[in-house]
Each structure stands twice: as structure tokens, then as C-alpha cells.
Structure 1
Amino acid sequence: MSFARMSVSAAAIIAVSATAAAARDQIRIVGSSTVFPFATAVAEQFGKSTEFPTPVVESTGSGGGLKLFCAGVGAEHPDITNASRRVKMKEVKTCAENGVDFTEVVAGYDGIVVANADSGPDYELSRAQIWEALAANGPKPTTWDEIDPALPAEEIEVLGPPPTSGTRDAFEELVMEKGCEEAGGEDCEEAGMEIREDGAFVEAGENDNLIVSKLEANDRALGIFGFSFLDQNQDAIKGAVIDGVEPTFDNIASGEYPVSRSMFFYIKHAHVGVIPGVIEYAQEFVSANGPDGYLPELGLIPVGDDLMASNKDAVENLPALTVDNY
């Protein structure tokens, strides 16, 4: 059964709500592969501890999730989407065009790591050196020691996420743009942060666990993914030091690690009170990343007290994120 498109009339809203309730009683969540393990943990706990069915969580990538989320209102569209970067203005506009009102919640913090197998060489890199290695408009070296003789004499092979990934967006902004500036590159906010496509950088899909597996099989390669995947696989892989700082839980939480970011989830207003348990799930996620929650044990960096209060208020009152207040 499918939804009719929402209209401004109360009658249409009632009709849509009735159809939604009949169509689906299980929460559907899409989005970031980095947020996926945290959302899955919350969904499983939510299913065990409440009367609601366990939500379905899909790893579609941040961009893919927001595309699905903003496509419309109705049982065929997801209720919540996760993102490892903030929604973009063009996505807010697409949501508005399709009648999708939504609220933003900060899920927690994460670091982006550059890692390799434990059996491989140790790397201490600056963002400028990473830019030199990966920039489409940079020097395009073949081996790391061409950038700096102190670096390993290994062929540059970096496995990373595709353009639809929030991790890719954040890596380009936090590493490629900043590295471009530090290295004296040109047009750093646009062409300067583009990643080369000649084989040195390999798009490895939205599945960060797959990148980890490939690193274990090839100790000459490096991989780019969220800190939690490093944290959960410390027996097999290790993170590179970036700008003199190790990628640790404490360094990311303090902001000392230079490649840190916020992660989010977004709640669709029209599905609240229609698809059962949407608000209750959001409340569970927020509390799970508190000081006594279970998500920090999985590698999610918790929010502070002020942001925790803001998150609770957002879930309770559902302030809309719009083009005007973005």
C-alpha cells in the first residue's frame, strides 16, 4: 500500500496518516555506514526493551539515505536517516520541495582515520602529505617516500568511500581542503580538494567493514573510515598519526585529533505518531550516547551535557530544520 502525497488540508493529512498506519508498523531507518552499527545497536535494544518491533536499519551511505528520506512522505519512504556529515542545503531544499519537514539530532562525534594492517609499516602523516598523495591536481607521486624520504617506500594505494558517502564529504573538507591549503595548492575549496582517479585511490563502497577486511588481506594498502571501525578492530589494524596526533577516543573527544566530525540523524515529522515508536526510538538513541549509555563502548564519542539537553529538547519538540534557519 502506498501513501498519497501530503497536502495542506487536514482531511488529506488524516487520510495519509490512516494509510501509513495500515501500511507499516515497523520503523525504517537508512543512511550512513558509519552510523549504521550504532543505529543497529539502538534498534536491537529498542526491540528488546519496548513493545515496538525492532526497527529495520539499512546502510545506504549518507547521501543515499538523505536522497531516500527527502523523496517524500509515506510508508514507502524511510522515517529516519543517519548521516556522518550534516545535511546539505540542496538536500534541505529537496526535502522542502517534497513536503518533508524534519528535525536534526546530533548522534555523537567521530574521527576519520587513515589506517592499515598491523603487519604493515607505521605512518605519521600530515594533512598536506595526504593531499599530495591523493590530490587530482597535485603532484601525483607513485610511492609515499616520493613525498617525504622519511615515509615508507610503499606504493600509494588508499581504499576509501565513494562520493555518496558522508565520510568522503568530511574527508575532502577536513583533510583534502586543509591539506591543499597547507601544501600551497590552488582552488582548495573546489578543484584543489578533488581526489585522483588513476588507481592510487580506490573506491571501496559504503561498507567500512569491507575496507577493514581488505586491509587485513593487503598490508601495503591504507584505508579511510570512521574511528569506530578502528576501535572495534584494534587486533588487526592500526591508525596513522595525523598532524602529530594519534586517533584515540580521548583525542577525538577533546577535539585535539584534527580529523573529527559530528554525526547526525534526522526525524521525519509526518511519520511521528503514524509509524509507531519513532519518537521512542529517537529518545533511546539520545540516552544511549549519554554518560551511562552503551554507544560509547562501541566507539561513538558522546556529546556533552549542553548538547545532550539540546538533543532531548529536539526530540521532544521537533523543531524543523528549514532553508531559512539552516
Structure 2
Amino acid sequence: MSYSKFSASVLAILAVSATAAAARDEIRIVGSSTVFPYTQAVAEQFANNTGAPSPIVESTGTGGGMQIFCGGIGEQHPDITGASRAMKKSEFDLCVSNGVTEVTEALIGFDGLSMAVARSNDFDWDLTLGEIYLALGAQVPVNGEWVDNPYTKWSEINPDLPDTDILAYGPPPTSGTRDAWVELAMHAGCEELDFVKEGGFDGDWVEENCSRMRTDGPFVEAGENDNLIVQRLEADPNAVGIFGYSFLYENLDKLKGVKIEGVEPSTDTIADKSYPVSRPLYFYVKNAHRGVIPNLEEFIEEYMSDDALEAGGYLSERGLVALSEDRLRELQDAVLDGKPMASPEK
């Protein structure tokens, strides 16, 4: 693989920033709380293999990470950001406006968006996407009217569900997990409702009216620290949590997954697409820092290694659902060669 395929503009940026950037010894990484445990695992493996300083990995959320990553080049700016959704055009434009003109995108694998409860909760949870929307949407249909959500108990949505208060801990708006949850669970759940289907409402209507999580108490934004949600579920067996599958996978001794549409979240059901709420995971590399920040190339090589990313690799052991072999080889070639991404369409 060649690491020299940078444009003249990037080489010019390197010439300007090399002295400042080289003053920092540690690789700096920000971004998604969902991607964080995978990147942290690679950082530990890299440090063990090479003896180099372990990269500094911060869990800032996808949106926050993009803002920091796109802030500029040089030692004060991070080298990589993790993301639980693809970079938006507005974020790409922010990067370009701040001189971050060449970025490589890496789709590293897939993750399920999980609902979970404490193991001490003995109910056999199985929710439809429509029931999830009715529990957590800011507005819902009641008697043919679109109104503020009145439901306070699960049994009010379906009498077969527990007669307990709805309480769900989930990610804030800055999180890519929140963006993906709204798109994959809330929009899809809203589209299941008879009110929407029989009313002939289109995708634009759904996006406008079904994107807001309720703010009257049953849904609680728990910040970017998914471990805090795990602690809250342990403390309250009636609560449910929303986070990436990796956190459920890492805490199966404490938590159990909620089935969605009859399917339990697992690496197998996410891989075969039978689990209805799954999404790709990414990281983004600032190409102007390659060859300038010590050990950055070597760290990227470790992240792209078969040991890390293949099915059965150490990241799949932590819950990442691996790419197919063909897609993995294509990814490795693009990332190791520093192939710059094109501007997203939206």
C-alpha cells in the first residue's frame, strides 16, 4: 500500500503545519460513544504491539466530534473522529472552510441500536417499532388527532405490556446514536401507525412530525456516557436504555436485550439484517496529519488489520459486526492509501 497519494494542496498544508503538529507525541481521537470502545481496543492493541504512546481517545459524541475534528489542522486539532453515522455535508463544508480539505472515510462495520433492561426485570420484552414510537414520540395519534403524547404507562400502549411507568434513558441530540435512532426506529415506527398509513402521509410528513423525542419525563437524555445508562438500568429494573449493541454485548452479565419485531439483538441478527434497527459505524482520518503526527500511519494500519476487522477479529469479539471479505479489502485499500472522500450529498 502507498501512503503518498496526497494532492498538492495537502502537501502544502503539511508544509505549513508540520512543525506545530509534530510537537504532539500522542495520536488524538474524538467522536462517537458507540465507536469509542472499538477505537480504544485498537489503541490498546497498538500500544502493546509497538511500545508507542497509547492514543488519547475521547468520547465526545458524533456531532461534537465532527465539530472538533473539522476545527482545523495542527497539533491542537484531533487526527481521527469516530462516528455512528456518515459525515453530513454541513460537517464536510465546515472541514473545508477550516482547511481540512482531504479526509478519508472508513466504514468499519455494523452495529445494532439496542433497547435493553436490567436482568432483574423478568418480563419477556418484545416491542414493535410502532409501540416504541407511541412510547417515546413527542406527538402521537389519539382518537384521530395528532396530539402531545399522553401515555405514561406501557400498558396504555398495549395491555399485554407491563403496567409500569414508561422510562427510557437514551442519547442526546449531539449523538450519532440519537440521529440513527430517530431515523431507523422513530420514523419507521411512526410509519407503522394506522393514522399515518391511512392518512397517506409521506416521508416528508413523517420527518417533520415524527422526529422529536418527548420531553415531558418518560424519555431522559443520559449524555454521551453509555456506561451511565447501564448504571441507571441496574438501579431501576423498570427502566429501558437505548444505546449501541456493543454496550449491551459488553454488559450481558447485567442487561438483556429487548426484542424488536420479535427479533433479539445479536451479532448474527444484525449481520443477516433480520434485526430491524442497525447502522454502519465509521471513523474519519485527517490526511494532513499523516506523516506528521508520530505513529499515526502505524495506528491506522492496526485499525485496518485483519486481526482487528475480520469476522472473528478482536473487534468482532467486542460486538462489531464485520464487513464482508470483499468490502473489507476495498476498505483497507482506500484507507491505507489515504483516498479522500467526496462531499456528501446532504
**Fold in common (TM above 0.5):** yes
1:223 aligns to 2:241 (yes or no): yes
2:80 paired residue number: 80
Aligned runs of 1:80-229 on 2, under 5 Å? 80-100=80-100, 101-120=102-121, 121-139=123-141, 140=149, 141-183=151-193, 184-185=195-196, 187-229=205-247
Structure 1: unaligned runs, 5 residues or longer = 1-6
Contact 1:279 1:315 in 2 (8 A): no
Per-residue CA deviations over 1:184-206 (Å, capped at 9, x if unaligned) read: 44621123121110001000010
Q: Which residue of 2 is the match for residue 4 of structure 1?
A: none
Q: Which SS does the other structure have where 1:92 is aligned?
A: helix
SS at match of 1:106: strand
**Which of structures 1 and 2 has the larger relative contact order (alpha carbons within 8 angstroms, sep 6+)?**
2
Residues 38 and 192 (structure 1 numbering): CA distance in 2 closer, same or farther, change over 3 Å?
Answer: same
Partner of 2:3 in structure 1? none
Cα distance in 2 for residues equivalent to 1:11 and 1:313: 24
SS for the counterpart of 1:212 is helix
Is 2:338 the partner of 1:318?
yes
On the 8 A contact 1:231/1:299 being kept in 2, the answer is yes
1:280-321 residue CA offsets vs partner (Å, 9 max, x unmatched): 212211220113521111111111112111211112221212
Q: How many pairs align?
A: 319
1:302 partnered with 2:322 = yes
Q: Please, what TM-score do these two structures have when normalized by structure 2?
A: 0.88
Q: 1:59–1:175: structure 2 CA closer, same or farther, 3 Å change rule?
A: same
Alignment of structure 1 residues 12-91 onto 2, 5 Å: 13-21=14-22, 23-91=23-91
C-alpha displacement of 1:324: 6.6
Runs of 4 or more consecutive aligned structure 1 residues displaced over 4 Å after TM superposition: 7-12
Aligned equivalents of 1:284 and 1:314: distance in 2?
Answer: 15
Partner Cα distance (1:8, 1:113) in 2: 42
Cα shift at 1:11: 6.3
Cα 1:119–1:321 change in 2 (3 A) is same
1:211 & 1:325 partners in 2: Cα distance?
34
Distance in structure 1 (CA, Å) of the matches to 2:12 and 2:176: 38
Gaps of 5+ in 2: 1-7, 142-148
Report Cα offsets for 1:41-64 as digits up to 9, x if no partner: 100110111153211101101111
Q: How does 1:225-304 map to 2 (within 5 A)?
A: 225-287=243-305, 288-304=308-324
Measured on the aligned residues, the alpha-carbon RMSD in Å equals: 1.7
Q: For 1:164, what is the secondary structure of its paired residue?
A: coil
Per-residue CA distance 1:206-237 (angstroms, 9 max, x = gap)? 01111011100000110000111111111211
DSSP 3-state at the match of 1:231? helix
- Percent of counterpart pairs with the same letter? 50
AA aligned to 2:330 is: S
User: What is the deviation of 1:323?
Assistant: 2.1
Q: Distance in 2 between matches of 1:68 and 1:258?
A: 32
